[in-house]
């Protein structure tokens, strides 16, 4: 009986797994976390309902959605004279207009969700589920659709801003960028990480390097040079090549080509600093589920992959580097220093 109870509970949890995801989307769409934050303290259901950006509210339906969100620990329900809702540490990460926010990254996932219906196409391996669903590759799709590209850019920006705070702390405590004079953020998109590194380490001359259409959207910043280029062709010379969430987009063959181009760009005493996921499927570490989710995301969208330490080691050795060092940070990614 116990076993069956557990089995039923497990399956129901998975069957309604999408309910967590899409109720979270509803909270983001309605801006519930921002409303409570702006209010500056606990709010009753009625107060919250009056502040929603919609003309009429069915209070019973809204109550039921809030009940689900409280169950998800996105909001607390406290007694403060009457029942009132407050933010939790998780919903604080949904607030807009702040560095630490995962709201835009979540919104991108809902946009991409259709392709998940074609996951079985990945098993066949001839095409990505994204191509099966949309008829074009992920990269071509976002390059052509400006609105979708803005969504992608916002998602990467918000995710990177959050990781960058942890990354800077990790670099400061482990001395990873000590003595470095120049750094290029390859595939650095609009330069969020490069700007944060330039601010935290003002003695480093920083640049962001990306495809021309991406660099065209990167904001001007006196401390960060913007360089248009193709990492498969050549990367300008620098002490450190920095690459965040780039290699996970590519298969092993392309990663080796990119890694070799990075090696050509750095001196013997230079290094490559990769910020990417190191998969730990055996562990019950709190980020394992998110890492596996991102790994499926790569399989479905761009046909890339998240790699275990062993898989990273093979890539790094094949590309001709001598050694590497992994430093975990407070993020789903780790820092992987790679030495020529
Ligand atoms: C997943 S995004 C990561 C962006 C950024 N590093 C971050 O973490 O926010 C991958 C980036 O690689 C860039 N990219 C793709 N192909 C490239 C190429 N051939 N040369 C330079 N950059 C490229 C994309 O334009 C995109 O900005």
> Could you say which residues of the chain have pLDDT below 50?
none
Structural domain includes residue 333 = yes
Structural domain includes residue 335 = yes
Q: Which of 318, 315, 316 is nearest to 339 (CA)?
A: 316
pLDDT of residue 255: 98
Closest ligand 1 atom to residue 213 Cα is: 25
Structural domain includes residue 128 = yes
We report the CATH number of the domain holding residue 229 as 3.40.50.150
- Domains of the chain: total: 2
Q: Which of 188, 311, 318 is nearest to 242 (CA)?
A: 188
pLDDT of residue 263: 98
- Whether 134 and 270 share a structural domain: yes
Q: Which of 36, 67, 92 lies at the terminal end of a domain, its last residue?
A: 92
Structural domain includes residue 237 = yes
- Whether 200 and 252 share a structural domain: yes
On the 0-12 / 13-18 / 19+ scale of CB atoms within 10 A, 198 is: buried
Structural domain includes residue 98 = no
- Whether 24 and 154 share a structural domain: no
- The span from the CA of 94 to the CA of 86, in Å, is 13
- Whether 49 and 140 share a structural domain: no
Any atom of ligand 1 within 6 Å of the Cβ of 188: yes
- Whether 227 and 269 share a structural domain: yes
How many beta carbons lie within 10 A of that of residue 18, not counting itself?
11
We report the CATH number of the domain holding residue 86 as 1.10.10.10
Range of the domain at 149: 103-339
- Whether 6 and 121 share a structural domain: no
- Whether 190 and 67 share a structural domain: no
pTM for the whole thing? 0.90
Structural domain includes residue 157 = yes
Closest ligand 1 atom to residue 232 Cα is: 19
Q: Which of 92, 127, 160 lies at the terminal end of a domain, its last residue?
A: 92
- Whether 23 and 126 share a structural domain: no
- Whether 115 and 226 share a structural domain: yes
- Whether 84 and 113 share a structural domain: no
Active site residue 39: no
- Whether 306 and 190 share a structural domain: yes
How many beta carbons lie within 10 A of that of residue 12, not counting itself?
10
pLDDT of residue 258: 98
Structural domain includes residue 325 = yes
pLDDT of residue 254: 97
Centroid of ligand 1 to alpha carbon of 266 (angstroms) = 19
pLDDT of residue 158: 87
Centroid of ligand 1 to alpha carbon of 283 (angstroms) = 29
- Whether 249 and 282 share a structural domain: yes
Collect all residues with Cβ–Cβ distance below 8 Å to 122 and sequence separation of at least 6: 128, 129, 299, 300
Structural domain includes residue 97 = no
Q: Provide the greatest CA pair distance for the chain.
A: 67
pLDDT of residue 280: 82
Centroid of ligand 1 to alpha carbon of 140 (angstroms) = 13
Closest ligand 1 atom to residue 157 Cα is: 9
Q: Which of 92, 111, 130 lies at the terminal end of a domain, its last residue?
A: 92
């Amino acid at each position: 009986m116990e076993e069956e109870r557990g089995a039923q509970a497990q399956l129901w949890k998975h069957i309604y797994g999408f309910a967590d995801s899409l109720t979270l989307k509803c909270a983001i769409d309605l801006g519930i976390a921002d409303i409570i934050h702006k209010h500056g303290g606990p709010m009753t259901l009625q107060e919250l309902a009056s502040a929603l950006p919609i003309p009429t509210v069915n209070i019973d339906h809204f109550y039921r959605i809030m009940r689900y969100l409280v169950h998800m620990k996105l909001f607390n329900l406290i007694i403060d004279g009457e029942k009132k809702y407050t933010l939790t540490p998780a919903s604080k990460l949904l607030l807009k207009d702040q560095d630490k926010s995962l709201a835009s990254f979540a919104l991108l996932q809902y946009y991409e969700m259709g392709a998940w219906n074609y996951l079985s196409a990945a098993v066949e391996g001839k095409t990505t589920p994204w191509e099966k669903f949309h008829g074009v590759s992920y990269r071509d799709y976002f390059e052509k659709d400006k609105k979708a590209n803005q969504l992608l850019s916002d998602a990467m920006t918000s995710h990177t801003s959050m990781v960058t705070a942890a990354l800077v702390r990790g670099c400061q405590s482990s001395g990873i960028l000590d003595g470095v004079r120049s750094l290029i953020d390859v595939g650095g998109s609009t330069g969020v990480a490069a700007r944060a590194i330039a601010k935290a380490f003002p003695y480093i001359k920083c640049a962001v390097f990306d495809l021309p259409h991406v660099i065209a959207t990167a904001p001007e910043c006196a401390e960060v040079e913007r360089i248009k280029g193709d990492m498969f062709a050549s990367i300008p010379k620098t002490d450190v090549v920095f690459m965040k969430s780039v290699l996970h987009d590519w298969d092993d063959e392309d990663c080796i080509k990119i890694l070799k181009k990075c090696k050509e760009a750095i001196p013997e005493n230079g290094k490559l600093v990769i910020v990417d996921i190191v998969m730990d499927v055996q562990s019950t570490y709190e980020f394992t589920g998110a890492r596996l989710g991102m790994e499926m995301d790569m399989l479905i969208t761009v046909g890339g992959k998240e790699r275990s330490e062993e898989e990273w080691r093979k890539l790094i050795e094949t590309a001709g580097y001598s050694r590497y060092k992994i430093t975990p940070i407070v993020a789903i990614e780790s820092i992987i220093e790679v030495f020529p």
